[in-house]
A and B are shown apart, each in its own frame.
Chain A
């Protein structure tokens, strides 16, 4: 197993190289003038040249890439042309907010999706089952940003139950930094008020984000439960009048975990990259907002950095999930 982990970790290296090469190629496609933007409207050609030189943009692209990869080995993701801040530090500041949002959305999806899936399996082919199928497809079809706007309109603007956006009210000082997750840090600091406030801010964006994985988990749970119920040994056990319940529960429990894991694997990277729109609507200070801003000002270092970090998290999450499969199902071999 250790060998398996090592091998998978080694595979990260080509991923890093591939990702950076692709993103660098795209950065080179840009027809605009990021230096002109960063230098400001009143800069002289000489000032622009100096800025380009300072950021190595006057060098051939392979040399720029070599510099970048060398820096990468030291955890340096380059500097933003616009703000001149190191990208790695910026990402470290924005990543926890995105992770907190995505993990909360996943939690909601699992906590609601698994029991709903079981229930609909029990009610198979009756109207709640059909209804749930329609709702699941509807949930997947709903544009997250439109749902976000609707929720804002109803819950924040008309009913005024929840805050419009952001992570914390601005006068509130965030709890001491431990995990970077405001909710958890607030609990660790024993500050229940801040925790509740943070939760209220988290509610709408997390729900908007959770719908797709929730629907998927629900449908997977339903299908696998139905499969278990139709299995030969369950049928036999039932026919023989044996207490089938125990067997079913055990198998279903394992199915729940494996369905959940599959969906997390499927959705984790997708959610990390897909928070962009939700973060935009809810002014959530995460990676998506950071990347959007950089993309619009053609500031490519942050974009490459974000793509790289999300890609790595995605690969890493899938490694963890593969390991977890092995734990719940020892039959899986690590090849």
Chain B
């Protein structure tokens, strides 16, 4: 770290990337996770078009074909309205993934902002923001999300907002820690000495260094966000019908067990596999991008 030019201190991207890719391929689990996530994303984009009964995804019903057990025509059977469970589940991927991503994105943006300001400003600003962060952490997040979602009423946006409200403190703490550490590093001191304004130091020098841990946390959080979205749907405060959603599907299916158990299998398994994929990928990414975070 003898060079004065602060820009040069950033990790050389090409070299780091190559090493990371190499390590990534070494870890078979993360490759599996990446593959699963790719499948999930594929269904999130094309699930609705590829569904065998696309008109049912939009709400069409076939009340003469209710509760058909799994068959060639309906690999996961039909539900209480004669809709193809596989079609609904495929189409439901979009809501879960989008909502999960929305939550993680909002949470990370807000959290990063709060954490960066707290860490960089220090003093009473830091104190106030971090107390607020700690406070939000003590409120049971699911109950908070449920209360807000119930207050706002069902709907995609409302659900995302409700969950995001309790999602940012983790990022705030993470980023604040990184900022505090980075602030002391030589290149920042140097940049300051060269007369760089604080905002520029924050955005050009400090935040880029926080990107890796944030991305790792985001990928690990994706799975949990999807779980929370499904949880709200399960309790009945998720999206509106006819939009298919895994948690809501499962909630309805619960009433038909054990006789018509198949209505629960496709949405439940889809939920598990999607979350599993994101967690495997996140676990792998952590080993590569954020070796410090490895326990």
Contacts and interface: CB of A to CB of B under 8 A. Distances in A.
Interface of A: 14-15, 18-19, 22-23, 26, 29-32, 130, 133-134, 137-138, 140-143, 145-146, 149-150, 152-153, 157-158, 219-220, 223-224, 269-270, 272-274, 276-277, 280-281, 288, 291-292, 295-296, 298, 300, 303, 306-307, 310-311, 314-315
Given A18-B135, A143-B271, A146-B272, A137 B142 contact: no
B275 A141 contact: yes
Contacts of B235: 276-277, 280, 292
Report, as a range, how many residues of chain B touch the other chain: 35 or more
A277 B231 contact: yes
Contacts of A134: 29
A300 B147 CA distance: 9
A296 B275 contact: no
Given A153-B258, A280-B234, A307-B139, 12 more contacts: A15-B138, A29-B152, A138-B272, A141-B279, A142-B272, A145-B231, A223-B295, A273-B142, A281-B254, A295-B143, A303-B147, A307-B140
A18 to B, nearest CB: 4
Nearest to B273: A141
Which DSSP category, helix, strand, loop or mixed, fits chain A's interface?
helix
Nearest to A17: B135
A256 to B, nearest CB: 15
B236 A19 contact: no
Nearest to A280: B235
B250 A269 contact: no
Contacts, number: 138
Contact of A274 (B142, B230, B295): B142
Interface in B145-190: 146-148, 150-153
Contacts of A18: 131-132, 135
Nearest to B258: A157
B209 interface: no
A276 B268 contact: no
Contacts of B258: 153, 157-158
Contacts of A223: 294-295
Contacts of B65: none
Given A145-B234, A292-B146, A22 B268 contact: no
B125 interface: no
A165 to B, nearest CB: 11
Give the one of B234, B236, B271 with max A CB within 10 A. Answer: B234
B147 A295 contact: yes
Contacts of A272: 140
B261 interface: yes
Contacts of B53: none
B102 interface: no
Contacts of A26: 144, 147-148, 151
Interface of B: 29, 131-132, 135-136, 138-144, 146-148, 150-153, 223, 227, 230-231, 234-237, 250, 254, 257-258, 261, 264, 268, 271-272, 275-276, 278-280, 283, 294-295
Contacts of B275: 141-143
B143 A310 contact: yes
Given A29-B152, A298-B151, A137 B140 contact: no
Contacts of A274: 140, 142
A19 B151 contact: no
Contacts of B153: 31
6 contacts: A137-B29, A138-B272, A141-B272, A223-B295, A270-B141, A295-B146
A273 B295 contact: no
A276 B140 CA distance: 10
A87 B261 CA distance: 38
A141 B276 contact: yes
Contact of A137 (B231, B250, B280, B295): B280
B144 A307 contact: yes
A15 B138 CA distance: 8
A291 B235 CA distance: 12
A23 B166 CA distance: 12
Closest 4 CB pairs of A and B: A273-B140, A146-B268, A141-B276, A157-B258
A133 B147 CA distance: 35
Contacts of B227: 141, 143
